[in-house]
Amino acid sequence: MIATLSTSASAPVIIGQRLRKGACGSPRDTKRMAADALATAHRLLGPNRPILVRADSAFYGADLVHAARTGGADVSITVRLDSSVKKAIADIPADAWTTITYPNPILDQATGAWISRAEVAEIGYTAFSSKKTTKRVTGRLVVRRIQDPPMWSDPRQIYIAKPETPHSARSPPPSTAGHERRSAGRPRPRLSTSS
């Protein structure tokens, strides 16, 4: 497990690492790792500099979030799409979604489609609601959803790709056969908290 620190003026620097014994789940020892990494970050940046702890859903858990908040940091973590998250997403009003456009299309690995637009919305959310009251965390659930990807009817049609993409300008679009519906419209929620 590695913790990095980056600022708007510097590249990421490793400020903490842990080797864990044997096969273990990702969240194991994240509480201590977060506390140590935040102490190092405060020593390097100063005690009053705002810090944002980011993590993916493998590390989503009350221990990490509480350690980050106790250490004076805000948190942005991808949450698991469990029943309470699905209910919160369903409660987002239709007019709350805002369309965003990416300046460079992103390849959706699951469908092979190039994505250039998405929708985002947020709603108040209490994470870890099944735990005792002191372990619950209230924040914002920020959700990004991708609309159905475009389907190409003729694989021979010319697809103009940007030079930085792995496909040449004369290549057909990546195959979407068998993957058309796997991730279409699937929300990608993040829990965000702030002091």
Q: Do residues 126 and 173 share a domain?
A: yes
Q: Do residues 12 and 64 share a domain?
A: yes
Q: Do residues 142 and 179 share a domain?
A: yes
Q: Do residues 41 and 4 share a domain?
A: yes
Q: Do residues 33 and 102 share a domain?
A: no
pLDDT value, residue 193 = 67
Is the pLDDT confidence value at 162 over 50? no
Is the pLDDT confidence value at 175 over 60? no
**12: domain range?**
1-77
Q: Do residues 58 and 86 share a domain?
A: no
Q: How many domains does the chain have?
A: 2
Q: Do residues 31 and 105 share a domain?
A: no
- Give residue-wise pLDDT tens across range 1-42: 889 999 888 889 998 888 877 777 777 788 898 999 999 999
Residue 32, SS3? Answer: helix
Asked whether 136 and 111 are in contact (CB, 8 A), the reply is no
DSSP per position, 71-107: TT-EEEEEPP--HHHHHHHHTS-GGG-EEEEEEEEEE
Q: What is the pTM of this model?
A: 0.68
Q: Do residues 58 and 89 share a domain?
A: no
Mean pLDDT over 141-150 rounds to 75
pLDDT value, residue 28 = 76
- In the listed set 77, 108, 129, which residue is the last one of a domain according to the structure? 77
Q: Do residues 90 and 173 share a domain?
A: yes
- In the listed set 77, 108, 140, which residue is the last one of a domain according to the structure? 77
Q: Do residues 125 and 188 share a domain?
A: yes
Q: Do residues 72 and 83 share a domain?
A: no
Residue 23, SS3? Answer: coil
Q: Do residues 68 and 110 share a domain?
A: no
- In the listed set 77, 110, 143, which residue is the last one of a domain according to the structure? 77
DSSP per position, 125-187: EEETTTS-GGG-EEEEEEEEE-PPPP--S-TTS-----TTSSS-TTSPPPP-TT-TTTSTT-E
